[in-house]
């Protein structure tokens, strides 16, 4: 029997961490993720967990401490946002290259500058190629569920990569929603104990961590990382199915909302999917065959599966809550467009950058995108594939 609660996204993440009971949590406060280690520290102080909580002097130190803990053979977790993730940047790459399955709750926020504490996805997109598995969460329930599955995925012998669970700052992190929690004992059984094969404190296997990796070796090690990321697809699928048996909640690489018979569709991530579902329902009531593909798994990127899911459409819009500043669209758009091309699926596709710095995204904005898609589907013409909505233009 699940436990019904009302929690914010940050509370849900902290409770997931409590139920997992990792060996080490190292963290430094930064808005809007501060509440996660703050809530978790109360679980440490009242004896609800036996985790070693390390209050460090910076986010760089937080990831360094997690790396040290994992390398020593411990299960480690952390949480951060935006500039905190940027300060971790060096260690983010080291964590993945050392194949350490650290789990991080990333509460998405705009990266400075100028300074902004509100939600967009520029922090996650800045490390999208750092070798971390990346799961995105529409709401508090998904943030909680993704964290419960995270260690099972990251610690799998065919993966051994760090994993970040993303949720939208303030929009979900500070908003209270109904949520179903899994009982502590079931979580403990599902997550299991961490039993690494290789670790520094194993006196029977002396080893080095992070040695110089010159020309004869580095390429092969990066190739192994790439293979581990490919392996993660199957593991994510298997763990999600096992999670569904335990909870009844089904997760895949992405959610197809009224997509089967759709003629036009939006691709997006995180909380924007909720607004888009509302618009899809409203348009369906008017006879418009609109649909949605909500991406959950951004790394590894499910290229072939996305191409197949979108292949029957007359027009597609990809929404990016960050701008790559390259003059050629956002990161999600680039991946989706590449997937379609490589898999020989030729559907008119357009990009919209939106919501930068927490700019409100309304149902009217989303409805405007679907109106544009209707016109593209009718004419087959795209004058400009690189678009914005919700921005005030210079006159």
Q: How much is the average pLDDT of 258-277?
A: 98
Query: Does 394 map to a domain?
Result: no
pLDDT value at 50 more than 90: yes
pLDDT digits (tens, 9 = 90+) for 4-42: 999 999 999 999 999 999 999 999 999 999 999 999 999
Q: Are residues 280 and 346 in the same domain?
A: yes
Q: Does pLDDT of 199 surpass 60?
A: yes
Residue 88 lies in a domain: yes
- By the 10 Å C-beta count (0-12 exposed, 13-18 middle, 19+ buried), 312 is classed as middle
User: Average pLDDT for residues 271-292, to the nearest whole number?
Assistant: 98
Task: Please state, for a pLDDT cut of 70, what percent of the chain lies above it.
Answer: 99
In a domain, 115, yes or no: yes
What's the chain's average pLDDT?
97
29 is a domain residue: yes
Q: What is the DSSP letter of 206?
A: -
Q: Point out which residues pair with 268 in neighbouring strands.
A: 294
pLDDT-derived band at 393 (thresholds 50, 70, 90) equals confident
- Maximum C-alpha span of the chain: 71
The token pair at 298 is: 């951004």
* Same domain membership, residue 81 and residue 180: yes
Residue with tokens 């018979």: 261
- Check whether 395 has a pLDDT greater than 60: no
Which residue in the block uniquely carries the two structure tokens 């009844």? 248
Which helix (H) or strand (E) is 8 found in, with range? strand 3-8
81 and 198: one domain? Answer: yes
In order, the DSSP letters of 353-390 are E--GGG----HHHHHHHHHHHHHHHHH---S-SEEESS
Asked if 288 and 234 sit in the same domain, the reply is no
Please tell me the distance from the alpha carbon of residue 82 to that of residue 113, in angstroms, as a whole number: 11
Number of other residues whose CB lies within 10 A of the CB of residue 369:
22
Q: CB–CB of 259/233 below 8 Å?
A: no
pLDDT confidence of residue 254: 98
CA distance 102 to 81: 16
| Domain tally, the chain | 2
**Which strands, in side-by-side order, build the sheet including 52-55?**
52-55, 24-27, 76-80, 103-108, 163-168, 133-136, 297-299
Place of tokens 């971390």: 132
| Same domain, yes or no: 308 and 206 | no
Helix (H/G/I), strand (E/B), else coil: 290:
strand
Q: What is the pLDDT of residue 95?
A: 98
Q: What burial class does residue 9 get, using C-beta atoms within 10 Å of its C-beta: 0-12 exposed, 13-18 middle, 19+ buried? A: buried
pTM of the model: 0.97
* Domain, as residue range, for 65: 3-247
Q: Which CATH number characterizes residue 287's domain?
A: 3.40.50.920
Instruction: Specify whether 116 is located in the same domain as 197.
Output: yes
> Do 118 and 55 share a structural domain?
yes
For residues 218 and 281, state if they share a domain.
Answer: no
The pLDDT confidence band at residue 211, using thresholds 50, 70 and 90, is confident
- The answer as to whether 50 is a domain residue is yes
Of residues 209 and 263, more confidently modeled: 263
Mean pLDDT of the region 58-69: 98
pLDDT digit string, tens, across residues 155-167: 999 999 999 999 9
Q: Looking at the domain assignment, is residue 239 inside a domain?
A: yes
Domain end position, chosen among 205, 232, 247: 247
Residue pLDDT, tens place only, 81-137: 999 999 999 999 999 999 999 999 999 999 999 999 999 999 999 999 999 999 999
Q: Does 150 have pLDDT greater than 80?
A: yes
Same domain, 238 and 274: no
Residue 190's alpha-carbon distances to 77, 104, 161, 232, 245, in angstroms, are: 17, 19, 19, 18, 11
pLDDT tier, 1 (very low <50, low <70, confident <90, very high otherwise): low
The pLDDT score that the predictor gives to residue 394 is 59
pLDDT bracket for residue 45 (50, 70, 90): very high
Which of 225, 247, 269 corresponds to the end of one domain? Answer: 247
Please tell me whether residues 97 and 173 are part of one structural domain: yes
Q: Pick from 223, 247, 271: which residue ends a domain? A: 247
340-366 b/e (C-beta count within 10 Å ≥ 16 → b): beebebebbbbbbbbbbebbebeeebb
Residue 73: phi and psi, rounded to 5, are 110, 15
Q: Is residue 393 part of a domain?
A: no
User: Is residue 395 in a domain?
Assistant: no
DSSP letters for 294-347: EE-EEES--HHHHHHHHTT-SEEEEEESS--SSSS--HHHHHHHHHHHHTT---
Same-domain check for residues 114 and 224:
yes
């Amino acid at each position: 029997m699940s436990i019904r609660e009302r929690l914010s996204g940050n509370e849900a993440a902290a409770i997931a961490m409590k139920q997992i009971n990792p060996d080490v949590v190292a963290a430094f406060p930064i808005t809007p993720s501060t509440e996660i280690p703050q809530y978790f520290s109360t679980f440490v102080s009242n004896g609800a967990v036996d985790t070693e909580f390390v209050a460090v002097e910076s986010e760089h130190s937080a990831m360094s401490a997690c790396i040290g803990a994992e390398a020593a053979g411990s299960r480690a977790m952390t949480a951060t946002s935006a500039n905190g993730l940027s300060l971790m940047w060096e260690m983010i790459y080291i964590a993945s290259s050392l194949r350490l399955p650290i789990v991080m709750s990333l509460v998405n926020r705009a990266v400075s500058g100028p300074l902004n504490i509100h939600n967009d996805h520029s922090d996650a997109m800045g490390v999208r190629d750092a070798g971390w598995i990346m799961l995105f969460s529409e709401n508090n329930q998904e943030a909680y569920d993704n964290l419960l599955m995270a260690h099972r995925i990251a610690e799998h012998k065919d993966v051994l990569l760090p994993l970040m669970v993303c949720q939208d700052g303030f929009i979900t992190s500070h908003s209270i929603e109904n949520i179903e929690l899994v009982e502590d004992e079931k979580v403990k059984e599902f997550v299991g104990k961490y039993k690494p094969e290789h670790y520094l404190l194993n006196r029977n296997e002396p080893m080095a961590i992070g040695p110089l990796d010159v020309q004869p070796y580095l390429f092969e090690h990066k190739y192994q990382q790439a293979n581990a990321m490919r392996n993660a697809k199957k593991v994510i699928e298997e763990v999600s199915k096992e999670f569904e048996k335990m909870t009844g909640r089904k997760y895949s690489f992405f959610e197809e909302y009224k997509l089967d018979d759709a003629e036009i569709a939006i691709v997006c991530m995180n909380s924007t999917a909720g607004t888009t579902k509302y618009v899809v329902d409203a348009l369906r009531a008017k006879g418009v065959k609109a649909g949605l593909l909500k991406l959950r798994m951004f790394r590894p990127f499910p290229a072939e599966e996305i191409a197949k899911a979108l292949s029957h459409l007359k027009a597609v819009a990809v929404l990016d809550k960050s701008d790559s500043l390259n003059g050629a669209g956002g990161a999600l758009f680039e991946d989706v467009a590449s997937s379609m091309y490589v898999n020989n699926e030729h559907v008119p596709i357009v990009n919209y950058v939106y919501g930068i710095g927490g700019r409100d995204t309304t149902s009217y904005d989303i409805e405007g995108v679907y109106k544009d898609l209707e016109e593209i589907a009718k004419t087959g013409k795209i004058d400009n594939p690189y678009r914005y909505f919700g921005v005030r233009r210079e006159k």
